[in-house]
Amino acid sequence: MSDYKGPERVLSGIQPSGGMHLGNYLGAIRKFVELQDRHDCFYCVVDMHAITVWQDPAKLREQTFHIAASFLAAGVDPKKAAIFHQSGVRAHAELAWIFNCVARLGWLDRMTQFKDKVGKDKERASVGLYTYPVLQAADILVYKATHVPVGEDQKQHLELSRDIAGKFNHDFDAPGFFPLPEPLIKGPGARVMSLRDGTAKMSKSDPSANACVYLSDDRDTIARKIKKAKTDPDALPSEVAGLEGRAEAANLVGIYGALSGKSDADVLAEFGGQGFGVFKPALAEMVAEKIGPIGDELRRLEADPDYVRGILCEGAQTASVVADKVVDEVKQAVGFVA
Ligand code: AQP
């Protein structure tokens, strides 16, 4: 529990570690757009997170523009929300160091995403990859954000942010200094799976371009990827229970439902008993209808990097005003000389 009484604020970030895909759109950006009319929102391209694994510098810059342009193309409005790059607001790194001294090693040892990412090669992983969730806590709490729209894969990291906020409030005898941020995860599209493997999440770093529908894909590419998506030979069931043990079928039904605003049950009421020869073209059409226009706008914006850079720099200034103030308060609480 926190006694936090401040304003409700929203923070979320996306790594410039590859092309923006349907999972990022349904799990995160679509919620960004919904929230911007009701809250103070901070949407961040988390380039400092991206370098926890090797990034080619020129590509990193290009991908940072790509993510920012994707926010804009999907409908995030820079007049309503601050859109910025994480490295453009120094306060994130400053607070992360202080949080490194608040978080406990045992907490980080439990983070499953680190274990999944490094596999058996832990010795060669960067220290940054290990402390990634601490920087994420700083990203959120440097704005005293109360709500964090994310996909389901981020649930454990959000719990760590809450633990860090609670421990800081306790250790420095400052009840209510930080809010305990709430993840906004629920809803269709919280976990979109790979088109090549229904048990693996759709991910930017997937080596197969056919595993993801990217926001930049044109309509023909979308249709080709959906046509090639892995499925099983059976027809779609008429009831949701029939999707049990059919990960690829469940994923495609979930994507159709998330984009059309229908429940899985309604999608199956429409397509149950039909084979993928019927369902896949309908899905391709649905994805093209919803993602196609975003791709068109994305290509237009990417042709104008100066405009996108301007949005990022302006957003970083707006965000810095809030973040610097919080870091000054934190330094005071910790006992640093002002
Ligand atoms: N498959 C997904 N389904 C639903 N939501 C997803 N998100 C990512 N993948 C899916 C959500 O998108 C936001 C940004 O994610 P990120 O880029 O910061 O990191 P990530 O979760 O690690 O995404 P990727 O695509 O898997 O990147 P790589 O491969 O670089 O690690 C988050 O809100 C996330 O939940």
Give a yes or no: residue 1 inside a domain: no
Same domain, 169 and 232: no
Please give the pLDDT value at position 61. 97
Give a yes or no: residue 248 inside a domain: yes
The pair phi, psi for residue 19, each rounded to 5°, is -75, 145
User: Domain of 105: which CATH number?
Assistant: 3.40.50.620
* pLDDT value at 2 more than 80: no
Does residue 182 sit in helix, strand or coil?
strand
Give a yes or no: residue 209 inside a domain: no
Same domain, 246 and 322: no
Please give the pLDDT value at position 316. 98
Same domain, 277 and 236: yes
Share of the chain above pLDDT 70, in %: 100
Cα gap 203→151, rounded to integer Å: 12
Q: What is the mean pLDDT of residues 177-184?
A: 96
The residue type at 156: Q
Please give the pLDDT value at position 1. 60
Same domain, 276 and 328: no
Same domain, 234 and 259: yes
- What does the block give as tokens for 175? 């009840």
Tens of pLDDT, residues 8-51? 999 999 999 999 999 999 999 999 999 999 999 999 999 999 99
* pLDDT value at 136 more than 90: yes
Cα gap 51→147, rounded to integer Å: 25
Give a yes or no: residue 211 inside a domain: no
Please give the pLDDT value at position 119. 87
Q: What is the mean pLDDT of residues 54-59?
A: 97
CA of 279 to the centre of ligand 1 (A): 26
Residue 117 catalytic?
yes
Q: What is the mean pLDDT of residues 105-119?
A: 93
Same domain, 165 and 223: no
Q: Which of 54-58, 149-153, 315-319 has the lowest mean pLDDT?
A: 149-153
Q: Is the CB of 191 under 6 A from ligand 1?
A: yes
Same domain, 68 and 137: yes
The label of the residue with tokens 């200034």 reads: 317
CA of 227 to the centre of ligand 1 (A): 24
Same domain, 114 and 260: no
- Could you list the residue range(s) of the whole structural domain that residue 265 is in? 219-299
* Ligand 1 atom 22 nearest Cα: 203
* pLDDT value at 175 more than 70: yes
If 0-12 CB within 10 Å is exposed, 13-18 middle and 19+ buried, where does residue 290 land?
middle
Same domain, 29 and 163: yes
* pLDDT value at 205 more than 90: no
Tens of pLDDT, residues 238-253? 999 999 999 999 999 9
* Closest residue by Cα to residue 11 from 136, 108, 98, 128: 136
Give a yes or no: residue 93 inside a domain: yes
* Closest residue by Cα to residue 14 from 123, 192, 170, 136: 136
Same domain, 61 and 79: yes
* Ligand 1 atom 33 nearest Cα: 150
Q: What is the mean pLDDT of residues 162-189?
A: 95
* pLDDT value at 120 more than 80: yes
Catalytic residue among 31, 79, 155, 201: 201
CA 178, 175, 106, 336 dihedral sign is positive
Same domain, 186 and 255: no
User: Domain of 261: which CATH number?
Assistant: 1.10.240.10
Mutate to test the pocket of ligand 1, among 10, 15, 49 (most ligand atoms within 8 A of CB): 15
Give a yes or no: residue 225 inside a domain: yes
Q: What is the mean pLDDT of residues 93-119?
A: 95
* pLDDT value at 210 more than 70: yes
Give a yes or no: residue 99 inside a domain: yes
Sheet with 81-85, edge to edge strand ranges: 81-85, 40-45, 9-14, 147-149, 182-184
Strands 40-45 and 81-85: parallel
Same domain, 157 and 81: yes
Give a yes or no: residue 43 inside a domain: yes
Q: How many domains does the chain have?
A: 2
